[in-house]
Amino acid sequence: MAIPKSVAALAVIVALLGSGCTQPDPNAAPTYTCTPSDGSTPAPCYKAEYDQQVKEDALYAEAEVVYRKFLAEDERIHRVGGVSAATPVLLATATGSYLESAMTVYKALKAAKATASGGEFKIAWVRREPSLSMANSLVALTACTDPSSVQMGSRGKTPLPGRISERTVYFVREADQLKITDGTYKLVDQC
Q: How many CA atoms lie within 13 A of 123 on its CB side?
A: 17
Distance CA 58, CA 75 (A): 26
- Domain span at residue 162 reads 41-187
Position 47 in a domain = yes
Position 177 in a domain = yes
Predicted local confidence at residue 6, as pLDDT: 44
Distance CA 127, CA 117 (A): 28
| Number of structural domains found in the chain | 1
Position 31 in a domain = no
Q: Are 146 and 161 in contact (CB under 8 A)?
A: no
% of the chain residues with pLDDT over 90: 70
For residue 92, the domain's CATH number is 3.10.450
pLDDT 10s digits, 5-47: 443 433 433 444 444 444 555 667 788 888 887 778 889 989 9
- The kind and range of the H/E element at 52 are helix 47-80
Position 21 in a domain = no
